[in-house]
Amino acid sequence: MIPTARTPVRTAASLDRGKPARSRNTQRKRADTGKARLAVAALSFLVIYAVIGARLVTYAMESDVRVASGHTGDRAIAAARPDLTDRNGHILATDLVSPSLYAEPHRIINLDDAVEKLNAVLPELEIAELRAKLDSKRKFVWLKRELTPRQEADVHSLGLPGVGFRRENRRVYPSGRIAAHVVGHVNVDNRGTAGIEKFLDDRGLAELHGMGFALDRAQKPVPLSIDLRVQHALRDELVMAMEKFSAIAASGILMNVHTGEIVGMVSLPDYDPNQPETALEPEAINRMTTGVYEMGSTFKAFTVAMALDTGRITLEDRYDARRPLRVARFTINDFHAQRRILTVPEIFVHSSNIGTARMALDVGIDGQKEFLRRIGMLDRLETELPENAQPLYPKKWKQLNAMTISFGHGISIAPIQMAAAASALVNGGYYHTPTFLPRDRDAARALAKPVLKPETSDAMRYLMRLNVERGTARKADRSGYRIGGKTGTAEKVVNGRYARNKLMTSFLGTFPADDPQYVLLVILDEPKGLKETHGYATSGWNAAPTAGNVVARVAPLLGVLPKIDQGEPAESAIFVSY
């Protein structure tokens, strides 16, 4: 129909005006909702593409593609580890990123050409093994881990298809051998296999890596209790002593008597953790924790403390040392024989086997066993280091065993156990389990175990200082540092018999003796006599002066300054009662 003036034309607006208002509002809302959904969808796609684009740019800028260390098999790469520092923040172990060479055998075009070229730039790769890897059915094989920048450049210039690089975390130890036995080392996959490095993995780091966490993110450094300055000085003095006395080994440990912190620990020969294969050499064991030894006369300090702690024996008591003790076919004699009745201080100063054995008999077998267990001598000591040995002692503890154990024969312990027990002798009677992690005094006291009477500790400080002033440990004395201690010389067991010409000498000391802060144990294995020692190879001639040199070097570093005015000498108070 053709519209006329009488027939109005209906437009969209006029039609819309004819609809109810509710219907018009519904349509507008639907239109707005559609536009909003389109906007959200567009924004989502934009974000997704931006992320993908950024990731592609990142991959393009990298020279390789990382593989998570949580993957198993050949593709597993070295995961990141936290830095290890000494107590002052100096780096002991850290990660560096280095390239490692891999191959995808199925992409190798010319096997002979690849083998020849790779062997030319990396001659350390054995040809037969290299050929076997490149000709294998596997999709991925490692060819060489931890390349140098020069090696990476040389291989890259070959342009071999199927050969590439992956960036890995490589563990480095800036201090090298200085703290090797404490820090430990890792394997090629950056997993801890010894020392604190293994402790970290045992405490959960390996599990985090396995689950894909803590791979390459920055991790909080782990501080240790050792002081790198002290560690260097201790090692340096032991190296010099080892050379001077032609010893086959040397070791030492320095422990804070109030916290149990190990401030320094050295075992020689040691190894370079940057070359972990050197740790497999038999002589590179950690003698402080892994080895157990008869400690000789240093053990007398614990026998005397045991006797005094009973309350039945005092410093004024006397013991008959005029004649050797004979038990069955065995004879107990004195190296520094006095052949007279000795007071308890004289037994300690002259290191009398006879007097010490008689004291042990007065305490009794049960009392001796109980005391040694109380101060941690009969059980395996557990520290953060995984390498801890079990003490060796008689299953049937008879009277003869009690007598020989009193002066350090017939029982073998880890030296770190002796250091821990010695701390209780001088710190007021509290036993602290040794630790290689920082521990303050409040935390230490909460964990401490009282094992001695305070008056027993007072007496032992006096006796140890007296022995350095006028006894077998005189050569350990250093002016102003008030060192106290006990020497020990033990014949080594060879083929089931004691060898008179193979000695292990030791010095167990504390400083300053009037207010002990640290315990020091120094051990030399098979030292030789010199002209200046008149041919003697006993501890008073080698281990004692070595310990004195160590104290003179480390005490200032630890804030222990020499005191020139020492007051009344200990000699004038031999019979003072505690």
Q: Which residues are catalytic?
A: 297
Do 435 and 261 meet the contact criterion of CB atoms below 8 Å apart? Answer: yes
Measure the CA–CA gap between 461 and 11, rounded to whole angstroms: 113
Q: How many CB atoms within 10 Å of residue 571? A: 11
Residue 170: phi and psi, rounded to 5, are -115, 130
Residue in the structure block whose two tokens are 């960036």: 167
Residue 66: phi and psi, rounded to 5, are -75, 150
- CA angle, 501 as apex, 499 and 507 as ends, to 5°? 95
Q: CA torsion 241→490→476→425, rounded to 10°?
A: 130
State the burial class of residue 44 (Cβ atoms within 10 Å of its Cβ: 0-12, 13-18, 19+): exposed
Half-sphere exposure of 513 (CA within 13 A, CB side): 27
Measure the CA–CA gap between 172 and 170, rounded to whole angstroms: 6
Measure the CA–CA gap between 252 and 266, rounded to whole angstroms: 5
The helix (H) or strand (E) run that includes residue 485 is: strand 484-494
State the burial class of residue 162 (Cβ atoms within 10 Å of its Cβ: 0-12, 13-18, 19+): middle
Q: Comparing C-alpha atoms, which of 461, 397, 407 is closest to residue 429?
A: 461
Do 515 and 545 meet the contact criterion of CB atoms below 8 Å apart? Answer: no
Q: Rounded to a whole number, what is the distance in angstroms from the first to the last CA of the chain?
A: 133
Q: Is the peptide bond before 527 cis (omega within 30 degrees of 0)?
A: no
Measure the CA–CA gap between 272 and 265, rounded to whole angstroms: 15
Burial 515-550 (b: 16+ CB within 10 A, else e): ebbbbbbbbbbbbbbeeebeeebbbbbbbbbbbbbb
Measure the CA–CA gap between 483 and 552, rounded to whole angstroms: 10
Q: Which residues contact 357 (CB under 8 A, 6 or more apart)?
A: 325, 332, 403, 404, 406, 407
Q: CA torsion 399→351→473→419, rounded to 10°?
A: 10
The helix (H) or strand (E) run that includes residue 362 is: helix 353-363
In this structure, which amino acid lies at residue 78? A
Q: Is the Cα dihedral 563, 569, 574, 578 positive or negative? A: negative
Q: β-pairing, 141-144 with 449-450? A: unpaired
Residue 127: phi and psi, rounded to 5, are -60, -45
Q: β-pairing, 341-343 with 430-431? A: unpaired
